[in-house]
A and B are shown apart, each in its own frame.
Chain A
Amino acid sequence: MPVRTWRKPLDAEKIKVPKGEVYIIKNRCKGCGFCIEFCPKEVLEESKEINERGIHPPKVRDEDKCALCGFCTAVCPDFAIFTVEKNCDGGC
């Protein structure tokens, strides 16, 4: 249906989509970059810091975008990243 949808929907506040919280186990990271490359919401980016193995682990760029799909957890070969649902009772 070709309609212009420009307004913030009236129920925008009511519709809750789970927000994700990203945990990175830096020293496990070997820097393959899968999580950064394949995150469908482009939540991650390479960090400047250097871990024990001398590589740059990922860091969160925009956690609000995290849809909690968990793909990073699944695609990380090193069990170095995972997400949990953010508790938004106090509002996110």
Chain B
Amino acid sequence: MEHPYEKFLRRERIPHIWCEGCGNGIILGCFARALDELKMDLDKVVVVSGIGCIGRVSGYTNTDSYHTTHGRPIAFATGVKLANPELKVVVISGDGDLFAIGGNHFIHAARRNMDLQVICANNFIYGMTGGQHGPTTPIDARTTTTPYGNIEHTFNLVHLAAACGAVYVARWTALHVRRLTESIKKALQKEGFSFIEVVSPCPEIFGRYNKMETSIKMMQWFREVSEVRHFSDPAKADITPQKIVVGEFVDAEKPSYSRLLKEMTAKVQTQAQ
């Protein structure tokens, strides 16, 4: 008997480096399940990740994969996708990687409607470096660099993605494994730039600093405060201790960069004849 996701993993790398109760493993599992249910040709899937805890995910997926520098997975993935449109290029990275150092690449890839699936593990903090505050750290939250409480306002990632023109935007917590899997499947089948935020437990760092020492406590928090509201206004979906609005926010049709590029190239070449 072997684990159903085994063939999607680089077995020799499991167990992974992530802490007890970290949501990254759940996200990887949901991604594997999505690939499985869609019967995706694994030869044509490329997983690209950045720096941070979840950055290691590319090393665990049994597909072609690339672990870029901090913040650059989307830019790298853009090159991959344009060079070989055959490939499904999935970026899986963290909130700091994608929205702090990599924010510029994110907003422009979304604007271009680049054919990429971006899955963001939002754990509210920089875990790999030991718990510094980042673009999603809740105001007042304690981190090693906000010892007196965070005074920075946060990014509402789904709002940002929607505003930048992503054609599919969803948010789930790591407890919503089924719905997350469905969203990943939907994204994988969608043309253009899709974005899925996964609110993910980091009990070891964020939890410890913010009175949620155990992973179960964090998951219970998700269970208690999450509220499914599909296609509600992402602008009103700020994450607060009292409420996490989850669900699909955007599911739109818009010609992707690849499609427009293909059409343009074809036009140019026929003129050339």
Contacts from A to B (Cβ < 8 Å): 23, 25, 27-28, 30-34, 37-38, 55, 71, 73-79, 82, 84
Question: What's the least CB distance linking A51 to chain B, in Å?
Answer: 11
Q: Could you tell me if A74 and B181 are in contact, using CB atoms closer than 8 angstroms?
A: yes
Residues of B within 8 A of A31 (CB): 20
Given the complex of chains A and B, what is the CA–CA distance between A28 and B2 in angstroms? Answer: 13
Q: Could you tell me if A25 and B219 are in contact, using CB atoms closer than 8 angstroms?
A: no
Question: What's the least CB distance linking B1 to chain A, in Å?
Answer: 5
Indicate which residue in B3, B9, B175 contacts A75 across the interface (CB closer than 8 Å).
B175
Known contacts A32-B20, A71-B177, A77-B26; 16 additional CB pairs below 8 A are: A23-B3, A27-B15, A28-B14, A30-B15, A30-B21, A33-B21, A34-B215, A37-B216, A74-B178, A74-B181, A75-B175, A77-B18, A77-B22, A78-B25, A79-B5, A79-B9
Q: Could you tell me if A77 and B23 are in contact, using CB atoms closer than 8 angstroms?
A: yes
Q: Could you tell me if A32 and B181 are in contact, using CB atoms closer than 8 angstroms?
A: no
Q: Could you tell me if A73 and B20 are in contact, using CB atoms closer than 8 angstroms?
A: no
Question: What's the least CB distance linking A39 to chain B, in Å?
Answer: 13
Question: What's the least CB distance linking A60 to chain B, in Å?
Answer: 14
Q: Could you tell me if B219 and A37 are in contact, using CB atoms closer than 8 angstroms?
A: yes
Most buried by B among A28, A34, A71: A34
The number of residues on chain B lying at the interface, defined by a beta carbon within 8 Å of a beta carbon of chain A, is 29
Indicate which residue in B3, B23, B219 contacts A79 across the interface (CB closer than 8 Å).
B3
Query: How would residues 172 to 207 of chain B score, 1 for a CB under 8 Å from any chain A CB and 0 otherwise?
Result: 000101100100000000000000000000000000
- B24 an interface residue at 8 Å Cβ cutoff? yes
Which secondary structure dominates where chain A touches chain B?
A: mixed
Question: What's the least CB distance linking B220 to chain A, in Å?
Answer: 8
Q: Could you tell me if A74 and B216 are in contact, using CB atoms closer than 8 angstroms?
A: no
Most buried by B among A25, A55, A75, A76: A75
Given the complex of chains A and B, what is the CA–CA distance between A38 and B223 in angstroms? Answer: 10
Indicate which residue in B3, B30, B216 contacts A32 across the interface (CB closer than 8 Å).
B216
What residue in chain A is nearest B18 (Cβ atoms)?
A77
Most buried by A among B1, B14, B20, B22: B20
Residues of A within 8 A of B26 (CB): 74-77
Q: Could you tell me if B29 and A34 are in contact, using CB atoms closer than 8 angstroms?
A: no
Indicate which residue in A30, A37, A73, A75 contacts B4 across the interface (CB closer than 8 Å).
A73
Residues of B within 8 A of A84 (CB): 1
Given the complex of chains A and B, what is the CA–CA distance between A71 and B176 in angstroms? Answer: 10
Given the complex of chains A and B, what is the CA–CA distance between A34 and B124 in angstroms? Answer: 20
Residues of A within 8 A of B181 (CB): 74
Given the complex of chains A and B, what is the CA–CA distance between A31 and B203 in angstroms? Answer: 13
18 contacts between A and B (CB under 8 A): A23-B3, A28-B14, A28-B15, A30-B15, A30-B19, A30-B20, A32-B215, A33-B216, A34-B21, A55-B20, A73-B4, A74-B26, A74-B30, A74-B181, A75-B26, A78-B25, A79-B9, A82-B4
- B254 an interface residue at 8 Å Cβ cutoff? no
Task: Decide: A77 near B25, CB < 8 A? Known: A32-B215, A34-B219.
Answer: yes
Indicate which residue in A23, A33, A38, A76 contacts B25 across the interface (CB closer than 8 Å).
A76
Question: What's the least CB distance linking B226 to chain A, in Å?
Answer: 14
Task: Decide: A74 near B29, CB < 8 A? Known: A28-B14, A30-B20, A38-B219.
Answer: yes
Question: What's the least CB distance linking A63 to chain B, in Å?
Answer: 15
Task: Decide: A78 near B16, CB < 8 A? Known: A32-B216, A34-B219, A37-B216.
Answer: yes
